[in-house]
Amino acid sequence: MKVYSYDDEGFYVGEYQAQPNPKRKGEFLIPANAAAEAPPNPGKDEIPKYKDGSWILVPDHSGKPFYNKQSQEEKFYKPGETPETEYTDIAPEGDVNEFVDGKWRLSENSLKQREKSEAEQYLKDTDWYIIRLNDPDRKKPIPEEVKSKRAEAIAKLNQLKDEGY
């Protein structure tokens, strides 16, 4: 006869063969933390649990991380625990800080700050063209592509400044 064992919290751990009762022929010994009734087959993210004399299915998200949709804090759940709505099992990847419509993305504010930093960095990286142009001994012209991109960077910075960034 098979018996189905569970741990101290009631979660299914496996099956094994019960030992015959040496004092009563035809009967078997069912040890503590075991049941003669087979547990139900679990679905995705479920585990059988023996409770109040019968098996039930409970959530099982153990072993996989969940992430807070605001802080990206990682959290693990025990069998039987259901993740709170402010957590998702979708891992944030790369430079993201906002969870919207079921996916991670960079917030509008962060996008604007990135654009500002990139424009400022481009101007810093190409300042030497201005210095070279103003040098009376060299007076080398600024390449048209650099002039155009610098004008775009300045326009972008002015736009972002007008938007409060």
pLDDT tens for each residue of 17-45: 999 999 999 999 999 999 999 999 999 99
Chain segment 46-98, per-residue pLDDT in tens? 999 999 999 999 999 999 999 999 999 999 999 999 999 999 999 998 888 88
Say if pTM beats, i.e. exceeds, 0.85. Answer: no
pLDDT of residue 39: 98
pLDDT reading at 139 higher than 80:
no
pLDDT at 104: 92
50 CB contacts (<8 Å, ≥6 apart)?
Answer: 4, 6, 10, 11, 12, 35, 39
What's the pLDDT score for residue 129? 87
Instruction: Retrieve residue 21's tokens.
Output: 């009762």
Mean pLDDT, the chain, rounded, equals 92
Per-residue model confidence (pLDDT) at position 131:
86
Q: Dihedral of the CA atoms 1, 12, 56, 58 (nearest 10)?
A: -160
